[in-house]
Amino acid sequence: MTPPLTFPPRPALPLTGGSWSDVPGAQCGVAKGRIKLRADRDDVVVLFTPGGSVAGVTTLSTAAAAPCRWTRDRLPGRASAVVINSGNANAATGRQGEADTLATAQAVAEVLGISADEVLVCSTGVIGQPMPMDRLLPAAREAAANLGDHGHRAARAILTTDLVVKEVSLDVDGVRFGGMAKGSGMIHPNMATMLGFIACDAKVAPEHLQPLVAAICDRTFNAITVDGDTSTNDTFLVQCTGHGKALSPESPGWASFAFGLEVAALELARAIARDGEGATSLVEVVVMGLEDDAQARHAARSIVRSNLLKSAIHGRDPNWGRIVGALGAAGVPHLDVLDLDIAGVPVMRGGQVLNWDEAAASAGLRSADVQITARLPGVGLGRAYGCDLSAEYVKINADYRS
Amino acid sequence: MTPPLTFPPRPALPLTGGSWSDVPGAQCGVAKGRIKLRADRDDVVVLFTPGGSVAGVTTLSTAAAAPCRWTRDRLPGRASAVVINSGNANAATGRQGEADTLATAQAVAEVLGISADEVLVCSTGVIGQPMPMDRLLPAAREAAANLGDHGHRAARAILTTDLVVKEVSLDVDGVRFGGMAKGSGMIHPNMATMLGFIACDAKVAPEHLQPLVAAICDRTFNAITVDGDTSTNDTFLVQCTGHGKALSPESPGWASFAFGLEVAALELARAIARDGEGATSLVEVVVMGLEDDAQARHAARSIVRSNLLKSAIHGRDPNWGRIVGALGAAGVPHLDVLDLDIAGVPVMRGGQVLNWDEAAASAGLRSADVQITARLPGVGLGRAYGCDLSAEYVKINADYRS
């Protein structure tokens, strides 16, 4: 029997069932803006971490929405508020979109008694529609005026068509983290934006926080592929309130802090992938080897985004040929010595197909958590997260407007 | 009324309904190899153009199959025979695959009285299965021993699970072209290989032919996207028999020759895209602008490969937001001044959405030939060809082995 490949286990920390606002110094407010006309639900959120620091990453899309560009220009920094709306992305809206973003930041800043430059803006929803400012502004003011421990309500308000609320909270070495995300649930794919918000009570300077957040984003939110498209509005923000431990990269507690932040981000990212539209399985691809982590991650992504493989996984078909094909198409070297496991079942060693247990692998693909593990020469380690491709996905996306 | 965007019309030349072997000096043979056990159909072809020249392009996949690597090493050149089998790709087959490729070339070479180095090899079919040499070799010898005008039969024999035969023939300025292709019909996606073969009777030196074939391949076969995956076996070969006009880049007839070759390749490429599995429409994306043709082609490809857009087209939803999103995700600049038409209906001008006729665009998407046209600043011109994404695609690919 060939033993299965082992790889560094996924970090596991006890989660505490809390919300973004469980973190000391983090408060939020929620309101109904009816941004999508007729929708009688919470859709405007204000996050407030006065005196804290913020770092983050926004979409690389050249069609980045106005709020995304506003937020990007203020990262990293001391901005202490974030205003979020769901229902309208304020994307492809030209100059008017920029003016509306500024007006939204100003409205929240007035209520909180800070400057508009200290207010970041995130929007998610339909593209190319003017923002209904007559409804957004009053709701933003209302949310800013009613701050408290409303994290769970906020986590629901930021959703568009996601099926499930995505939250995380944990304590690591005396630092508390709380987070929420909205995924590429993409029942309505013009709302495919990925938003992630994490608060923590550590006191960290923006210039120390930013490189850490960028690196963690690459390994978590940027490692998700539901359908390969980057949205116009993707944003991941980490706010440190400063109510707890003071930390810098030289502190003894920095490694634990970084670990906790990564676990929080990974939990949210996995929840997003699992909630991919029409999906029945979370697919995690681990590539060990190649020259560095970036190369390994590229290889892992190439597997997880292959429509052929995603369809095969949906059909519980452990189709290793499609994995080799996807790696080859991505230009991955050394495939003549590839080791490959599907759902814990060894399939290839040294580039040769084993006498493998196809039935066991097929059974493994029925799990809600599917793992594909590849090993190649080299020291890199890359993971990517995605989901299977179902006929439901197409149906949802084809029938969007009908 | 905003006039629709116009762009250089697709070259149109009268097609003559012939086959690969209608070209003077081009002969082929066909045999039944039962490469897929139990399949009682033609599946082995030998093409012969003695005294001619050959140029071509093979897959860039690092998992390129043994026959692909063999063929690549002999391009461009004076090789005068090609042996093709469907049913088994001879990919991911290690050293044995290389030995089998050599043995296949040798068997054909012996019958034709040439050297094995003058025989190119193409295989398409399942990945990772040893080639059944006991059945392939006799069939290859039989095909080589029975040469004639069997082009139509050959065009059927190279198919795996394509729904339709793909052939082209035309005369341009006294040069005759005949071609056939096998597509990414991908009912069985391990057979997603794209093969294209064109014969012409011009006399052209290999070193003049190769750069032309490479450039044309980029604008035709490489501009197709059915599901974004490059196969392990993709190959496009152009054989010039030398029975007709002698041509070089300095000849007055060279431009017509290049034009004819491009039209032949484009017809085959479009036929492949149209036959994408589960597809109901051929989608052609034209991008005018950007710095050069390569950038414009990259932008066009990013649109045609978006699952979100492909699903929308299947649902006849003229969802321009997904087009802007796909361009943005691909890093295309200047989207703030984008002009966009969907199915001949003007949708955006100068980055602003027009008061557009959504019903007309939706009706246009019901056509078997859908065009999306984008214009940006710059002098480039790029086209890409694909198809819509149907629930049928997923069903086919999920149920492949069950």
Q: Is B363 on the interface with A (CB under 8 A)?
A: no
Which pLDDT value is given to residue A325?
86
Average pLDDT over residues B232-246: 95
Which pLDDT value is given to residue B181?
96
Go through the domains of chain A in sequence order and give each one's CATH number: 20-274 (3.60.70.12), 282-397 (3.10.20.340)
Which pLDDT value is given to residue B184?
66
3-state secondary structure of A228: coil
- Name the band, by pLDDT with cuts 50, 70 and 90, for residue A345: very high
Q: Which residues of B touch A327 (CB under 8 A)?
A: 62-63
pTM score of the predicted model: 0.82
With 60 as the cut, is the pLDDT of residue B321 above it? yes
How do A381-387 and B27-31 pair as beta strands?
unpaired
Give the Cα separation of B84 and B196 in Å (integer): 11
- Name the band, by pLDDT with cuts 50, 70 and 90, for residue B357: very high
Give the Cα separation of B237 and B221 in Å (integer): 11
- Name the band, by pLDDT with cuts 50, 70 and 90, for residue B228: low
Instruction: Please identify among residues 197-256 of chain A the ones whose CB lies closer than 8 Å to any CB of chain B.
Output: 227-232
User: Which of A133-142, A274-283, A317-326, B151-160 has the lowest average pLDDT?
Assistant: A274-283
Report in angstroms the alpha-carbon separations of A259 from A125, A207, A247, A264: 32, 18, 13, 9
Report in angstroms the alpha-carbon separations of B273 from A328, B71, B270, B366, B368: 22, 25, 5, 16, 11
A274: phi then psi, degrees, rounded to nearest 5:
-65, -30
Q: Omega before B377 cis (within 30°)?
A: no
Whether the CB-CB separation of A159 and A182 falls below 8 Å is answered with yes
Mutation choice for A interface testing from B58, B93, B187, B308 by most A CBs within 10 A: B308
pLDDT digits (tens, 9 = 90+) for A15-61: 888 999 999 999 999 999 999 877 789 999 999 999 999 999 998 88
**Cα angle value A351/A356/A362 (rounded, 5°):** 115
Q: Is B12 on the interface with A (CB under 8 A)?
A: no
Which pLDDT value is given to residue B68?
95
How many CB pairs lie under 8 A apart between chains A and B? 206
- Name the band, by pLDDT with cuts 50, 70 and 90, for residue B186: very low
Q: Is B401 on the interface with A (CB under 8 A)?
A: yes
Report in angstroms the alpha-carbon separations of A335 from A171, A289, A323, A325: 42, 11, 11, 10
- Name the band, by pLDDT with cuts 50, 70 and 90, for residue A245: very high
Which pLDDT value is given to residue B189?
40
Q: Is B292 on the interface with A (CB under 8 A)?
A: no
Average pLDDT over residues B242-257: 95
Mutation choice for A interface testing from B61, B88, B354 by most A CBs within 10 A: B61
Amino acid at B261: L
Q: Which residues of B touch A232 (CB under 8 A)?
A: 324-325, 328
At B369, list the tokens.
């030939």
Which pLDDT value is given to residue A188?
39
Identify the burial level of B153 via C-beta atoms within 10 angstroms of its C-beta, where 0-12 means exposed, 13-18 middle and 19 or more buried. middle
pLDDT digits (tens, 9 = 90+) for A151-172: 999 999 998 877 789 999 999 9
For chain A, what percent of residues have pLDDT higher than 70?
Answer: 92
Give the Cα separation of A335 and A348 in Å (integer): 11
Give the Cα separation of B342 and B358 in Å (integer): 9
Q: Is A127 on the interface with B (CB under 8 A)?
A: yes
Which sign, positive or negative, has the C-alpha torsion A113, A115, A118, A121? positive
Give the Cα separation of B197 and B261 in Å (integer): 11
Among B126, B127, B325, whose Cβ lies nearest the Cβ of A231? Answer: B325
Q: Is A173 on the interface with B (CB under 8 A)?
A: no
A218: phi then psi, degrees, rounded to nearest 5:
-60, -35
B352 and A322: CB-CB below 8 Å? no
- CA end-to-end span of chain A, whole Å? 53
B320 and A128: CB-CB below 8 Å? yes
Mutation choice for A interface testing from B96, B229, B233, B314 by most A CBs within 10 A: B229
Shortest Cα–Cα distance, B150 to chain A (Å)? 33
Residue showing tokens 């199959």: B65
Q: Omega before B8 cis (within 30°)?
A: no
Which pLDDT value is given to residue B391?
72
Mean of pLDDT over chain B: 89
A228 and B306: CB-CB below 8 Å? yes
* Element housing A53 (H / E): strand A53-58
Report in angstroms the alpha-carbon separations of A114 from A84, A107, B86, B288: 17, 10, 70, 46
For chain B, what percent of residues have pLDDT higher than 90?
Answer: 63
The DSSP code for B291 is S
Q: Which residues of B touch A332 (CB under 8 A)?
A: 62
pLDDT digits (tens, 9 = 90+) for B54-102: 999 998 888 899 999 999 999 999 999 999 999 999 998 889 999 999 9
3-state secondary structure of B99: helix
Average pLDDT over residues A275-280: 77
- Name the band, by pLDDT with cuts 50, 70 and 90, for residue B399: low
Q: Is B61 on the interface with A (CB under 8 A)?
A: yes
Identify the burial level of A38 via C-beta atoms within 10 angstroms of its C-beta, where 0-12 means exposed, 13-18 middle and 19 or more buried. exposed
The DSSP code for B173 is T
A256: phi then psi, degrees, rounded to nearest 5:
-65, -40
Whether the CB-CB separation of A132 and A87 falls below 8 Å is answered with no
Find, in chain B, the residue whose alpha carbon is nearest to that of A392: B391
Residue showing tokens 């090899």: B121
Catalytic residue among A124, A160, A193, A232: A193
Q: How many CA atoms lie within 13 A of A40 on its CB side?
A: 0
User: Which of A208-222, B127-141, B308-322, B350-364 has the lowest average pLDDT?
Assistant: B308-322
Give the Cα separation of A124 and A74 in Å (integer): 19
pLDDT digits (tens, 9 = 90+) for A88-127: 999 988 899 999 999 999 999 999 999 999 999 999 988 8
For chain B, what percent of residues have pLDDT higher than 70?
Answer: 92
Among B59, B63, B192, whose Cβ lies nearest the Cβ of A324? Answer: B63
3-state secondary structure of B397: helix
- Name the band, by pLDDT with cuts 50, 70 and 90, for residue B229: low
Whether B280 sits among the annotated catalytic residues: the reply is no
B311 and A397: CB-CB below 8 Å? yes
- Name the band, by pLDDT with cuts 50, 70 and 90, for residue A8: low
Report which of residues A309 and B286 the model is more confident about.
B286
Shortest Cα–Cα distance, A229 to chain B (Å)? 6
A19: phi then psi, degrees, rounded to nearest 5:
-130, 180
